[in-house]
Structure 1
């Protein structure tokens, strides 16, 4: 059963149950009142009759008391203790049984009962040593109750139908956003269409639709980034692969029969080119793997001492820095994150600074709190710096300025830095250092004491 059908049935069932309870209560209340009214009417008539002043003026005997003339709408009879009728209509006499005879004999006081055989209500009171028996048919009362039950049934049925119709309308209107979500998920699953869905209102379903649109936007952004990464990687791989193929074909052609031989100098140059191109490919593939790892979700964060992370990265950078020196000023800073990813990001900053530093240059590394729960890690070099036109793009994937194209690298190192910083809730910045070189910085959240969480 669909959700819409369940909502319809739920509304109809709730209204039906409520109508049934109200109808039952109304029916029982009216029924009790009607039967009580019959009893009260019989008791009042019997009491008024036996206490009527006309009876005192009527002598005992065979004379028909004038007070009985008021009992025209009920059946009545005066009986003795044997049940014999002294006064009354023999053709329309009330039911007479042991209880009525007992009242006539003085063994019982007033007595009220229902005669099931004739479906009449019978009331008996003592009367001058005998008993006055009154009886009234219950058929009119039952007909009224039957009419009432029919009216309640019709009104209740109409209420259930109206509730079902209202439930259907509410379900159709209320579940329209869910239906749009269903169509959107099916469209994404079968077609890959990530267009946002229409949102109406500001209720919970509207917020769900907003969240779904945000998810679609995130998926679309991730897909675009993936496509861009594949396109950029293919573009970057094309050049070294072409060079490798050209050099390999040249070597193979030189080894063919009757082909001119390459000189040792040319062969050595080709071998050097092959090694350089293989190294470039290895670095590019490694950077792509690292970047893909950086884009993966952070599943197991731990407390990270940034001073320790920077010192480990400095130890690795010094081994390949040559005559470039490092000036280091580190203040304590702790955060929750992945130490391996942060160390790789710091190492990429240091390697980038070393690559552009002049011989004998100095790279300044500074880590200090900046307030508001953030700290800045700054790496400054004394190289040629970054052109103003290149500053907004230095952290983009595969972006390399004109000056950097002649140097080794894949254009992914700073993109890995940006990815690691953003995964830890931080950001990256680029500018000019005091020495005229490049100033690259990472802003990271955390605290200056070990209780960071």
Structure 2
């Protein structure tokens, strides 16, 4: 059973239980009140009969209906006396004899109520002691009409309970339908997404209730899934394009290696150097692809980082690799971040500057802004907004080694640290490329 059916059944059960409970309590209350009224009427009539007012037992002028039985409904009472010796004498009223028990004959004080059946009629009987040596008075009243009234009341309450049960089930179904309408749409969406297809229906309208919040969260999740899927597809396409060049070169070199013995020593050295270079480029490209695709920097725990420290380590590493002069000018600003990721981003910036520019390279860190300045050819205005895209390489840089992923990694690191990237020309020639991070403090 689905959620809508369960809610409808729950509403029906609750409504029906409430109707039945009210009906039972109402019936019991009505029965108690009617019985109390009968007992009060018997007691008042007994007092009048004991005082000699037997006229109260005379038939009432009520027309008999077609459903009346053998006894006239206009004469519902019967009275008789019980002598001290146990003899029973009829006083008046309906011509029936009420059964007398030993307890009735032994009654010497107070009153006693009993329910008896004479023939097909039921009676409520009151036995009243008249005093020492006076016996007792016994008075009965027909309760068939009372039973019919209570039976009709029970029947009406039963139908009312059935109607309430049906109404509660209908109302529960309508309310459940309204409540679960957006949940049903969300369920269909999740089924389409889990099946690997793009959703064919929109996310339900947002609201302020829990379903609305779930819809908003689900819409955001779908948006991120779509964005991640687009990024993944773009990464695969770009990776396939970038991998094609070194693989083609390696395949060509492999064909040439089949005639290795026929080559001159100089040709052999150039061939081996080319194979070695292409292999390193391919290895570097694969490493950067894996890092971008898996987000390995996200596995590094965050901690307070003084930006001066990763800047010094990155500069030292690039100095050792390239032999170029790299100056570092850093203040004591700190951020809540990942040291290795920040160092990798700074290293990529420095390697990019070393690759494209000659002369000294400057790394400057001020107030959460990390920038690397070189004296290379600079960055064209049309390339400034795209140099951080994956695999993008300017026209004048396509002949140089590289994967086009270094600056893309810088952008990912900057975003994960609450910052952004920038690139532009440097006064006097060259380029300034860098990123910003969110700051947490300053160490002098």
TM-score (norm 2): 0.86
Counterparts of residues 400-415 of structure 1 (less than 5 Å): 400-415=393-408
TM-score (norm 1): 0.84
Find the counterpart in structure 1 of residue 187 from structure 2: 182
Rate the CA distance shift 1:194–1:419 in 2: closer, same or farther, 3 A. farther
Alignment match of 1:151 (pick from 156, 159, 181): 156
Counterparts of residues 73-84 of structure 1 (less than 5 Å): 73-84=76-87
Counterparts of residues 31-46 of structure 1 (less than 5 Å): 31-46=31-46
Rate the CA distance shift 1:142–1:300 in 2: closer, same or farther, 3 A. farther
Distance in 2 of aligned mates of 1:201 and 1:232: 37
Find the counterpart in structure 1 of residue 362 from structure 2: 363
1:302: Cα distance to partner? 3.6
Rate the CA distance shift 1:355–1:196 in 2: closer, same or farther, 3 A. farther
Rate the CA distance shift 1:21–1:300 in 2: closer, same or farther, 3 A. farther
The CA deviation string for residues 286-315 of structure 1, in whole angstroms up to 9 with x for no partner, is: 221222343675474344333322222222
Counterparts of residues 107-118 of structure 1 (less than 5 Å): 107-109=108-110, 111-118=111-118
1:194–1:216 contact (8 Å) kept in structure 2: no
1:196–1:217 contact (8 Å) kept in structure 2: no
Distance in 1 of aligned mates of 2:106 and 2:250: 128
**SS state at 1:304 partner:** strand
2:57–2:77 contact (8 Å) kept in structure 1: no
Counterparts of residues 236-247 of structure 1 (less than 5 Å): 236-247=242-253
Whether 1:250 and 2:263 are equivalent positions in the alignment is no
Counterparts of residues 232-311 of structure 1 (less than 5 Å): 232-253=238-259, 255=261, 261-294=262-295, 297-298=298-299, 300-311=301-312
Counterparts of residues 308-347 of structure 1 (less than 5 Å): 308-335=309-336, 337-347=337-347
How many residue pairs get aligned? The number is 422
Distance in 2 of aligned mates of 1:66 and 1:327: 126
1:15: Cα distance to partner? 0.9
Find the counterpart in structure 2 of residue 422 from structure 1: 415
1:194–1:217 contact (8 Å) kept in structure 2: no
Counterparts of residues 45-84 of structure 1 (less than 5 Å): 45-51=45-51, 69=58, 72-84=75-87
2:375–2:429 contact (8 Å) kept in structure 1: yes
Distance in 1 of aligned mates of 2:430 and 2:252: 38
Gapped regions of structure 1 (runs ≥ 5): 56-64, 256-260, 369-374
Distance in 2 of aligned mates of 1:364 and 1:300: 25
Rate the CA distance shift 1:295–1:435 in 2: closer, same or farther, 3 A. farther
1:350: Cα distance to partner? 1.9
The CA deviation string for residues 18-63 of structure 1, in whole angstroms up to 9 with x for no partner, is: 1121111111111111111111111121223334xx66xxxxxxxx
Find the counterpart in structure 1 of residue 350 from structure 2: 350
Answer with 384-393 or 285-294: which moved more. 285-294
Q: RMSD value over aligned CA atoms?
A: 2.6
